[in-house]
Chain A
Amino acid sequence: MSAQTQFSGGFDNAPIDAAHAFRAAMTVMARPGEIRLISGAQPPAPLSVAAGTLLLTLCDPETRVHLAGDLDTGTVRQWLTFHTGAPISEAPEADFAVGSWQELGPLSQYRSGTPEYPDRSTTLIVECDDLQQAGAELTGPGIKDTARLSLPNVPALRANAALYPLGCDFFFTSGDRLAALPRSTQIRVEG
C-alpha cells in the first residue's frame, strides 16, 4: 500500500474535528434511535467515514481494537496504527471491535463487563449497508416514548440487553451516518 493512504485521511484539525465527532457519538448514545452525521476522517476502504471518524475520536494506545473479517487488511491496520496507535487485538480482549454484523461473530466472545465494573465491556462498531429509523421498537433511557431503528439482529441484541447492567454497547455506521444502541435499551420486534 502507498504511504499516501497510510498517512493521510486523519483529522485536519484534531481537537475540533474530534469534539464535533464526539458530540454526535454522545448524542446518539444518549438518544438511542437517533441518527447523526459524523465526518472528519477519510479512512481506507472498506472502513466507512463514520466508523473511521469514530475510531479516531475514541481510540488511542490505551484501547485494544479488534478488526473483524474483511476489515482486517494491512491497509486498515496501518492506517489505524498510524493515526491512533491503538493495539490490534483478538475479539475477547478488545475494547472496541469494528466490522459487519456477520463478521463480528457471536456477541458472547466479547467482554460484557463485571458486576462491579460493568463499564469494562466492549463497544462494537457495526458497519451496516443501511441505517433507518424503522424496524425494531426501542424503549428505555434516552427515549421519550418509543423510537425505531433498523437493527441487524434483534434476538442477539435482546439477549445482550437482558444482561443489563452488563453487556456490550453498539454504534451502527453506514457511510457518514451514525446511530447507537446502549445495553440499557429494551427492544421489541415490529408488530
Chain B
Amino acid sequence: MNEYNFAYLDEQTKRMIRRAILKGLAVPGYQVPFASREMPMPYGWGTGGVQVSAATLTPDDTFKVIDQGADDTTNAVSIRKFFENTAGVETTEETEKATVIQTRHRIPEAKLTGDQIIVYQVPIPEPLRFLEPRETETRKMHSLEEYGLMHVKLYEDISQHGAISTSYAYPVKVSERYVMDPSPIPKFDNPKLEMDAIQLFGAGREQRIYAVPPHTKVVSLDFEDYPFEATKADHPCDLCGAEDSYLDEVIMDDAGNRMFVCSDTDFCRSRRAQGHEGRLSKEGAV
C-alpha cells in the first residue's frame, strides 16, 4: 500500500479516539474530550472528522466525503484522496454504496441505512458557546441540564424577527437529556438526525467527540406557539426538478440571474440520470 500506518494515525491515538467514541455512544449528545492530534491539514478543514474516520475505517469500507453536499469540492476531494492514500479504502460518490460517509455541513438526501456510519466535521461543538464563553460554566450547565439560556436565545429571535431565525447549527435535545450542536447543517436536515445509521461527530480544534446512536430521539428545540420548521428555498431544483431537496442559490451573471440547484450533488446527478429535468436542464447551463 504505502509507508503509512493503516488510516494514517498511530494505533495508540486510534485507541484513544475509539474509547472516546464508545463513551460518546453510551451518553448520546455528551461531548467527550479527546486528545486531538495535529493532522496534515489545517484546523477548520475537518481534522476532527478525519480523526474519527481514521479510527472507524476498516479496509473493507467504501468511503464517501461531502462538503456542503458536494463530492467535488476541494475539502471533499482532498479528504477522499487522503484516505485513498493512507488507508487504501474504496471510495465512492454514491451515497447508497458508501459504508462510511464523512460530511461537512449536510446530511445526504438519500435515507441512510443501518449498515452506514456518518461522520460529521464540527467547528464549534458547544451549542452554548456563543451564549456563555467559559468552558467551566457550559460544563456546569450541561451537568445541571440548565438550558434556559438557549430558549432565551430562540425567544429573542422571535421577538426581533417574528420567527426563529436560526437557520443552521440549530440546537437539538438528544434522548431527552443533552442539548447538542448538530454541526452547521441547515435546519432542513434536523429531522433526519433520527436515522438508522450511527452518527459520530468530531471537532478537532475544540478536541471533542460526540455521538448519536441509531433510532435515538433527537428533538429540535422550539416553542409550542412557534414550532420548529425545516425550511428550504421555495423552488424546485433547476437541474433535476426535485422539490424536496435542500437547494443552493447560484448567482449566474451580473444581471442578477440566479438558479437553484440541489446541494447534494450525488442526489441531483442520480435524478438527472433517471431522466428528471428542471427549468434549466435543456439550456445546457451547467
Q: Residues of A with Cβ closer than 8 Å to B?
A: 14-16, 18-20, 22-23, 25-27, 29-31, 57-60, 62-63, 114-119, 121, 123, 140-144, 164-165, 169, 182-184
**Chain A contacts of B173 at CB under 8 A?**
none
How near does chain B come to A113, taking the closest CB pair, in angstroms?
Answer: 8
In the bound complex, CA of A16 to CA of B21 (Å): 18
A116 lies within 8 A of B175 (CB):
no
In the bound complex, CA of A119 to CA of B20 (Å): 8
In the bound complex, CA of A29 to CA of B25 (Å): 7
Contact A60 B215, CB 8 Å, known A116-B143, A165-B177, A169-B22: no
Stretch at the interface among B8-16, B72-80, B243-251, B260-268: B8-16
How near does chain B come to A185, taking the closest CB pair, in angstroms?
Answer: 9
A116 lies within 8 A of B140 (CB):
yes
Q: Which of A15, A57, A118, A121 contacts B18 (CB 8 A)?
A: A57
A18 lies within 8 A of B11 (CB):
yes
A119 lies within 8 A of B30 (CB):
yes
Stretch at the interface among B54-62, B105-113, B232-240: B54-62
A142 lies within 8 A of B213 (CB):
yes
**Chain B contacts of A140 at CB under 8 A?**
175
B22 lies within 8 A of A26 (CB):
yes
A30 lies within 8 A of B198 (CB):
yes
**Chain B contacts of A14 at CB under 8 A?**
11
Q: Residues of B with Cβ closer than 8 Å to A?
A: 5-7, 11-12, 14-16, 18-28, 30, 32-33, 55-60, 139-140, 142-144, 175, 177-178, 198, 211-217
Q: Is the interface of B mostly helix, strand, loop or mixed?
A: mixed
**Chain B contacts of A58 at CB under 8 A?**
15, 18-19, 22
Contact A118 B15, CB 8 Å, known A23-B56, A169-B22, A184-B175: no
In the bound complex, CA of A181 to CA of B230 (Å): 34
B22 lies within 8 A of A25 (CB):
yes
**Chain B contacts of A169 at CB under 8 A?**
22-23, 26
In the bound complex, CA of A20 to CA of B58 (Å): 6
A63 lies within 8 A of B18 (CB):
no
Q: What 9 A-B pairs are tightest by C-beta distance, nearest first?
A: A142-B213, A182-B26, A15-B6, A115-B143, A119-B23, A141-B216, A30-B213, A19-B58, A116-B139
A22 lies within 8 A of B11 (CB):
no
A30 lies within 8 A of B25 (CB):
yes
Q: Which of A29, A60, A117, A182 contacts B15 (CB 8 A)?
A: A60
Q: Which of B11, B25, B33, B139 contacts A142 (CB 8 A)?
A: B25
Closest chain A residue to B175, Cβ basis = A141
A26 lies within 8 A of B21 (CB):
yes
In the bound complex, CA of A118 to CA of B31 (Å): 10
A26 lies within 8 A of B18 (CB):
yes
Closest chain B residue to A182, Cβ basis = B26
Closest chain A residue to B26, Cβ basis = A182
**Chain A contacts of B198 at CB under 8 A?**
26-27, 30
How near does chain B come to A169, taking the closest CB pair, in angstroms?
Answer: 4
How near does chain B come to A58, taking the closest CB pair, in angstroms?
Answer: 6
**Chain A contacts of B6 at CB under 8 A?**
15-16, 19
How near does chain B come to A26, taking the closest CB pair, in angstroms?
Answer: 6
A62 lies within 8 A of B27 (CB):
no
Q: Which of A19, A119, A183 contacts B32 (CB 8 A)?
A: A119
Can you list 30 contacts pairing A with B, beta carbon distance less than 8 Å? A16-B58, A19-B59, A22-B18, A22-B56, A23-B56, A25-B18, A25-B22, A26-B18, A29-B25, A30-B25, A30-B211, A30-B213, A57-B15, A58-B15, A62-B12, A62-B16, A115-B143, A116-B142, A117-B33, A118-B30, A119-B20, A119-B27, A119-B32, A141-B28, A142-B214, A143-B215, A144-B215, A164-B177, A169-B26, A184-B28
